[in-house]
Copies of this chain bind each other. A is one copy, B any other.
């Protein structure tokens, strides 16, 4: 594969100068056109050490309007980053709609380096590459253009370049005998890189291999690849959404998963008080234990309007030291959030290791309100099931305990609560026209919840359907489940040393 990139391709200086002028002009035009579009572009600059990745990044910033470019170098990861799932650092750096993100190093760097150094085997590498493919697919499904450049130089050229860099101290070479080390590793890197390129050279995010020995050729070729990719993407007409076929041969009134919820389960006041105290005390201890063992929780709370989400969450937060949790509430997305993939605003809220994040409403809005209200197209909310599973599997793989609660009440119970709110002065603000409108779509929501549970209740991130007509019962059910899930993880022997992330071994 790489032998075709050691041919001595070059561009004479004179030619370079005239071509550069025209190329810059066209790149700028394309960039301004992109700025008006509802999607960003990501340019990944990868390749052999010493091939001039940095210079290409410089060029791109020089050739185009740097104000519309976000350049990110993914060097060593920070504590902040290590305490969260691997992709968190990339979500942080995601360009907003209309912008170009230039990634110098990327999600490819760590898997390739780890494999080349023999720290992970081929199967593990393949798993990481599959995750990359899914990540890239998620972005391109959302309209993002991904341009992947691989810059190649020969072993000989690398040695020459390193000798020069060491002499001029241009590189931050932290290894003592860097030249010899790179020479030793060159072939190992080449083998792993070939595998990585082959397995991730997809139709939606193809690789572009560039011979990088002559800087003139390298930079023009890189610019040309970017320009072509922008051009094609800007001119692409999305495939039309097929007309839905509303037809069913099955009686409308089929049971849903919600019919299984024992909505009317009750707890007497006495038993409630005892259980509340018991589980809150237990949770208090568990939260500290989790902190010590660096186990994080992600708890999602969804439910019907007036189901009692807020008061149930409060019973949890009362029990946990405020330094150990964060409560995040979601309403309509901000402008900044709207300029990103819908999962972006949830990624940014993830707490570091040893804490809990409680989500009052969550990414499931995509498949609930956005589906029912038509804010997301059919293909958008439907592919969200896979995207959400992919997201949650990354959380679980990083050792986070993922819990999801749907608080279910009957339609009658909701009506009673709505009326009570209207009659109670200090609760009137909690009931709006929108609540009544949502109520009219009860059946649609029921179907959406059923489909949501069908597609996203997984062993690594199961849904708990909470019987909510009796608030006491619901609160205790949630607290109990929360404690139980946490205990399952904290009791694992591998976790006793207080250092290891528990689920890391069961990487999904």
> Which residues of A pack against B, CB within 8 Å?
1, 3-5, 7-9, 11-12, 15, 19-20, 22-23, 122-124, 126-127, 130, 137, 141, 191, 194-195, 198, 201-203, 206, 209, 217, 220-221, 223-224, 227-228, 231-232, 235-240, 242-243, 245, 247-251, 254-257, 259-260, 379, 382-383, 385-386, 389, 393, 450, 453-459, 506, 508
**Number of identical protomers:** 2
List B contacts of A7 (CB < 8 A).
254-257, 259-260
Distance between Cα atoms of A137 and B134 in the complex (Å): 13
The reply to whether A251 and B12 contact each other, CB–CB distance below 8 Å, is yes
In the complex, the chain B residue whose C-beta lies closest to that of A378 is B232
Nearest residue (CB) in B for A233 is B242
Interchain nearest-CB distance for A47 vs B (Å): 14
CA distance A9 to B19 in the complex (A): 67
B203, B254, B382, B458: the one within 8 Å of A383 (CB):
B203
Contacts of A389 in B (CB 8 A): 198, 201
Task: Decide: A457 and B12 in contact? CB cutoff 8 A.
Answer: no
Q: Which residues of B contact A217 (CB under 8 A)?
A: 250, 254
6 pairs, CB–CB < 8 Å, chain A vs chain B = A7-B256, A9-B255, A126-B127, A198-B386, A198-B389, A232-B245
Complex contacts, A238 vs chain B, CB 8 Å: 239
* C-alpha gap A194/B457 in the complex (Å): 10
B249 touches A4 (CB 8 A): no
Nearest CB on B from A29, distance (A): 12
Given the known inter-chain contacts A7-B260, A250-B221, please indicate yes or no for A194 contacting B19, CB distance below 8 A.
no
Interfacial chain B residues near A383, Cβ < 8 Å = 203
Knowing A239-B238, A245-B231 touch, does A385 contact B126 (C-beta < 8 A)? no
Question: Main secondary structure on chain A at its contact with chain B?
Answer: helix
In contact, B203 and A386 (Cβ under 8 angstroms): yes
Top 7 A-B pairs ranked by shortest CB distance? Answer: A19-B249, A4-B454, A239-B239, A7-B255, A232-B242, A123-B123, A4-B257
CB neighbours of A227 from chain B (8 A):
245, 247
CB-based contact A457/B4 at 8 Å? yes
A413 CB to closest chain B CB, in angstroms?
A: 21
Is B224 in contact with A248, judged by CB distance below 8 angstroms? yes
Query: Please, which residues of chain B bring their CB within 8 A of the CB of A122?
Result: 506, 508
> A240 contacts which chain B residues (CB < 8 A)?
236-237
Give the Cβ gap from A11 to chain B, nearest Cβ, in Å: 6
Q: Is the CB of A11 within 8 A of B255?
A: no
Within the assembled complex, what's the spacing in Å between the Cα atoms of A455 and B197? 10
**Complex: chain B residue closest to A236, CB-CB:** B242
Taking the closest CB of chain B, its distance from the CB of A366, in whole angstroms, is 15
CA distance A413 to B88 in the complex (A): 58
CB proximity of A272 to chain B, nearest CB, Å: 27
| Interfacial chain B residues near A191, Cβ < 8 Å | 459
A15 surroundings in chain B (CB, below 8 A): 250-251
Smallest distance from the beta carbon of A230 to chain B beta carbons, Å? 10
- Quick one: which of A141, A223, A245 has the most chain B CB within 10 A? A245
Q: Are A245 and B223 in contact (CB under 8 A)?
A: no
A248 CB → nearest B CB, Å: 7
C-alpha spacing A11/B250, complex, angstroms: 7
Q: Which residue of B lies closest to A260 (CB)?
A: B7
The chain B residue sitting closest to A199, CB to CB, is B130
Task: Report the bound CA distance from A206 to B382 in whole Å.
Answer: 10
- Nearest CB of B to A290, in Å: 25
| Chain B residues within 8 Å of A124, by CB | 123
From B5, B249, B455, give the contact of A454 (CB < 8 A).
B5
